[in-house]
Structure formats: structure tokens, C-alpha cells
Amino acid sequence: MADAHPEQRSAQLLAGEAAYRISRWSDAAEYLSHAGGPGDDQPELLFYLAVSLFESGAGAGVAAPPLRRALPNLQRSPYVDGYTKKILGQ
């Protein structure tokens, strides 16, 4: 669906979340970046984008902006804190 309809933001975000959940980092980063990426009202998807960018080799500098946008509204957990430390050094 997402490939057939790249203009449909919701399809891109759904495909990105699905790819993230099965650790297909490059696919997740690509889908989540389409159509402007997740909004600030979607902190989990912003976090998924940050992790996917980081794990696909884009580096902490590229992954940091979506993570910073996610953190104010993201429920913290050891998993989130682990990636925050890896990406932001905090």
C-alpha cells in the first residue's frame, strides 16, 4: 500500500512502524521520512525514526533531531533511555 501510494502519509507512517518493529532499519527510516515524517504529536514514531536512522548507519547527528523532538512527549523506559544515551550521549 505504501509503495503504491507514496502520497498517503498515513500509509507511509504505518509501513515505517511495521518495518521498525521487525528491525528493517533502512526501510523504516525511508517510510517514516516520507511525506514530511511524523509530527510532534507522534512521539513514538519520531523515536522510531531516530532509532531507525541511527541503526541504519546515518549516524547520531542525523538521528538526534527527531529524538529531541520526541523526548518531551515520550514515555521514558530503559529502552528509550538506552537509545537516548547512544544518540545524544545523555
Return the DSSP state at 73. G
> Residue 19 domain-assigned?
yes
> Residue 75 domain-assigned?
yes
> Residue 40 domain-assigned?
yes
> Residue 1 domain-assigned?
no
pTM for this predicted structure:
0.91
- Give 69 or 10, the one with higher predicted confidence: 69
**Exposure of 90 in the CB half-sphere (CA atoms within 13 A):** 9
In tens, the pLDDT along 70-80 reads 999 999 999 99
CB-CB neighbours of 46 under 10 Å? 24
Closest CA to 55 of 74, 78, 32: 32
> Residue 4 domain-assigned?
no
- Give 62 or 7, the one with higher predicted confidence: 62
Domain that holds residue 47: 9-88
> Residue 39 domain-assigned?
yes
In tens, the pLDDT along 2-38 reads 555 556 788 899 999 999 999 999 999 999 998 688 9
For the chain, how many structural domains are there in total? 1
